[in-house]
Amino acid sequence: MHFSFWHWAVVLLIVGVPVFFTVRSARRSSPEAAPVGFGGWLMLLAIGQALAPLRILSIIAGSIEGYQQILTVQNGALVVYGELVLLIGFMLFQVIVFIAMVRRSHRFKRLFFYQWLAIPVVFILDTALIAMVLDVPASQVLAGGAAVAPIVSFVLAGVWVAYVYKSVRVKNTFDAPAGLKSA
pTM: 0.78
Element (H or E) spanning 123, and its range? helix 108-134
| C-beta separation of 115 from 97 below 8 A | yes
- Say how many domains are in the chain: 1
Q: Provide the pLDDT for residue 85.
A: 97
The parent domain of residue 139 ranges over 5-180
CA 5, CA 104: separation in Å to the nearest integer? 35
Read off the pLDDT band of 180 (50, 70, 90): low
- The closest of 156, 179, 176 to 33, measured between CA atoms, is 176
What is the mean predicted confidence (pLDDT) over 138-154? 91
For 134-145, write each residue's pLDDT tens digit. 999 998 998 888
Q: Provide the pLDDT for residue 183.
A: 45
Read off the pLDDT band of 116 (50, 70, 90): very high
CA 119, CA 10: separation in Å to the nearest integer? 28
| C-beta separation of 26 from 38 below 8 A | yes
For 34-87, write each residue's pLDDT tens digit. 888 888 899 999 999 999 999 999 999 999 999 999 999 999 999 999 999 999
Q: Provide the pLDDT for residue 38.
A: 87
Read off the pLDDT band of 105 (50, 70, 90): very high
